[in-house]
Amino acid sequence: MNPHPLARTAGRTSRGLVTGVGLLVGFVVLAVTVGRVESVGLTRMEPARPVQSLALRVDDAADGSLALRDADRGALVATVRPGEDNFIRATLRGFAQGRLRAGLSREVPFRLTRFDDGSLRLDDSLTGRSVDFGAFGPSNYAAFARLMPAESMPSEPMPAQDVCRTALPADGIPGSCGTAPTNAEPSRNSAKGAMGAAP
């Protein structure tokens, strides 16, 4: 018994559709593979380079303050008193507790680094933990940015675009450009006032 003509047409259409879809999928896979191998249509971002670095040692004082010191020079960078700079306090306490749980030394300093794209990061070489402050908003970014030593900034004039990239971002977002906001001005006076105080 011969199949109905419509059934024969439907069978040919289904086979043609499956073949077409298979060819399309094969082409997409081939195009993606060639693109990845040959870097066609891909944009590669150069990794950010460090422009400032501070070896940060944290000492506890009897009154609950934290004395933040430049571990390389022994200089007092800032004093975090109870009830002040809660973001700094919480971040450093979290890093210290990570070491305590792992049974690691407290003597090795943390590393605060500013990069040429404006980002700012705190690293613990012992635990491998790091925090990128660009994700925590302008005021929290500025809290750690003020700890960076001003004298380690490049002394030679830089092109405008480079100055913009390494300066404190205008809106606290790494990579943005402009004048630092008033609430992000480095509060080094308070730190200098604590220089003579015992931690």
Amino acid at 63: D
Closest CA to 154 of 50, 74, 81: 50
Q: Which residues of 8-18 are buried (b: 16+ CB within 10 A; e: fewer)?
A: eeeeeeeeeee
Kindly report, residue by residue over 65-115, the tens digit of the pLDDT: 999 999 999 899 999 999 999 999 999 999 999 999 999 998 999 999 999
- Whether pTM exceeds 0.75: no
Closest CA to 66 of 76, 54, 53, 52: 76
Per the document, the length of the chain is 199
Q: Which residue has the higher pLDDT, 163 or 89?
A: 89
Distance CA 83, CA 73 (A): 28
Note the pLDDT of residue 23. Answer: 87
Strands 120-123 and 76-80: unpaired
* Residues in CB range of 81: below 8 A, 6 or more apart: 63, 64, 65
The runs of H, that is alpha helices, within 39-179 are 86-102, 138-145, 160-166
Residue with tokens 């060819």: 23
Closest CA to 88 of 149, 139, 151: 139
Q: For residue 150, is pLDDT > 60?
A: yes
Closest CA to 95 of 57, 48, 145, 54: 57
Distance CA 50, CA 170 (A): 20
Distance CA 72, CA 56 (A): 9
Note the pLDDT of residue 177. Answer: 38
Note the pLDDT of residue 19. Answer: 85
* Residues in CB range of 143: below 8 A, 6 or more apart: 85, 87, 88
Kindly report, residue by residue over 41-73, the tens digit of the pLDDT: 666 677 889 899 999 999 998 898 999 999 999
